[in-house]
């Protein structure tokens, strides 16, 4: 079963390009969970579970990079 999660860069960070976002994800940087229904808090690559689709908002939340966890 797949689940979707929308996140934003944590601790005031922002990224200008999808490449920067994906590099930060691969480096294990934290991202803030945007939905209160998902418990809030933070997630990073280590926390993600197989079957999840992570929608990462960047560039002042105007763009989305999609990461599918296998």
Exposed / middle / buried, residue 7 (Cβ in 10 Å: 0-12, 13-18, 19+): buried
d(CA 16, CA 14): 7
In this prediction, residue 58 carries a pLDDT of 98
The set of residues, in sequence order, having a beta carbon less than 8 Å from that of 4 and lying 6+ positions away, is: 52, 53, 55
pLDDT digits (tens, 9 = 90+) for 11-46: 999 999 999 999 999 999 999 999 777 678 999 999
- Phi/psi for 39 (5° steps) reads 90, 0
Q: Which two tokens stand for residue 19?
A: 């490449």
pTM of the predicted protein model: 0.90
Q: Mean per-residue pLDDT for 36-60? A: 92
In this prediction, residue 44 carries a pLDDT of 97
Q: Mean per-residue pLDDT for 52-67? A: 97
């Amino acid at each position: 079963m797949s689940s979707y999660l929308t996140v934003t860069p944590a601790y005031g960070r922002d990224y200008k390009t999808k490449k920067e976002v994906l590099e930060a994800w691969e480096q294990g940087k934290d991202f803030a969970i945007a939905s209160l229904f998902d418990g809030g808090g933070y997630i990073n690559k280590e926390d993600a579970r197989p079957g999840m689709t992570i929608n990462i908002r960047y560039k002042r939340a105007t763009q989305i990079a999609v990461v599918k966890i296998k």
